[in-house]
Amino acid sequence: MDITLNSRDEPGYTVLEVAGEVDVYTAPTLRDRIADLLDAGQRRLVVNLTSVEFIDSTGLGVLVGSLNKARELGGSLDLVCPQERVLKLLRITGLDDVFSVYRTVDDAVVDSGTG
């Protein structure tokens, strides 16, 4: 399986739906897509990892790099992730302290005050 990315603009935020495998092969695609959204002026990004089958350190690194970039621009990048497998990875790497992680897109939007 490859990676599938779909973004949709909502009033005040943009949701990026990620599906498939995010690894050393596919992570550059994710990085470029997020960079495009930031370049296009989107500042509140919600990255939905619900349909991700697999993510490795390259994928996590892209998310951290993108978060730093979003913050430099005065924006935000929050994660949606209900899967224990991915949550475990975030805990192992300490990234659960770096990102705001929500169970659903609605939770993310409400909490960041954009809904």
Partner 1 sequence: MATVTLRLAPRPAHVRTARLVASAMARRSGVNEELLDDVRLAVGEACARAVRLHQRHGVDAPVILELTDGEDFTIVVTDSVADGVAGATPDRIDLVASLTGASGVVGEVLGAGTRTVGRTDDGSPAAWVATEVTEITEMGLAETPGWVESERLGLAVLAGVVDDLRVERRADGTRVHMRWPIKD
Return residues touching partner 1 (CB under 8 A): 21, 23-25, 27, 31, 35, 54, 56-58, 60-66, 68-69, 85, 89, 92-95, 97-98
Q: Which contacts qualify for 68-72: CB closer than 8 Å, 24 or more apart?
A: 69/34, 69/35, 69/38, 70/34, 70/38, 70/43, 70/45
Q: Cβ 95 to partner 1, closest distance in Å?
A: 7
CA nearest to 59, candidates 84, 29, 82 = 29
- Residue 46 or 60: the one with the smaller Cβ distance to partner 1 is 60
Nearer CB in complex with partner 1: 19/35? 35
